[in-house]
Amino acid sequence: MIIAAGGGRRIGGPEALLHQGEKPLVSRMIDTMAEAGCAPLVVVLGAAADQVRETADLTGATVVVNRAWGTGVGSSIRAGLAALDDEAIEAVVVVPVDMPGLTAAAVRRVVALPYPDVLVCATYGGLRGYPMLFGRRHWSGIATLASADVGARPYLLAHKDQIVDISCDSVADGSRVDTPELMALYGLTVPPQRVGV
């Protein structure tokens, strides 16, 4: 699941519209997840969803539009989990779109244990980050506790002894682009937005 719904007020536009060169970052993230063997792919859009659909290649992904995107990442996680209605899916890996340094190798490390009762977090420098893997048995609890801009954090804190930490330092950069300085570092741009989108 790729969370690409935020308005990106700190970076000047919606994260899903970020471009690295000519390619939207959301399309790059779909490629990364597919290369890692993740299927089915769900992309949760929100801010500027229509413009994202027009500019990004979302082929191979189920697109869910979170109309409540302004309430924070918690509502996007709930929307994405609700779209995963195939009972055969035992776990979901969650990534935000604003991680240009994420690699398929990091995703593969985290998804190596796709069981219904698993909770896995990538770590960078000993700190938890994305990708995160949520086993199906946790989805209801995550959806219930996911809130505002902290997403699944309340659920993860309540179940911290069950989390498996997987170091991804050597295979990915866990930085999230949330400042103009990081946008410049990664060569990211936000194209002009249409008014009223």
CATH of the domain at 93: 3.90.550.10
Tell me which DSSP letter residue 114 carries. -
Residue 106 lies in a domain: yes
Whole-Å CA distances, 56 to 123, 136, 145, 166: 29, 29, 31, 31
Q: How confident is the model at residue 146, as a pLDDT?
A: 84
| Mean pLDDT, residues 163-167 | 97
Domain count, the chain: 1
How do 91-96 and 188-189 pair as beta strands?
A: unpaired
Tell me which DSSP letter residue 93 carries. E
Average pLDDT along the chain: 93
d(CA 60, CA 94): 17
- Give yes or no for residue 57 having a pLDDT over 50: yes
Distance of CA 192 to the CA centre of its chain: 23
Q: How confident is the model at residue 172, as a pLDDT?
A: 97
Residue 197 lies in a domain: no
Residue 193 lies in a domain: no
Residue 144 lies in a domain: yes
| Mean pLDDT, residues 105-134 | 96
Q: How confident is the model at residue 193, as a pLDDT?
A: 64
Residue 99 lies in a domain: yes
Range of the domain at 14: 2-188
| Mean pLDDT, residues 19-38 | 94
Residue 194 lies in a domain: no
d(CA 78, CA 65): 11
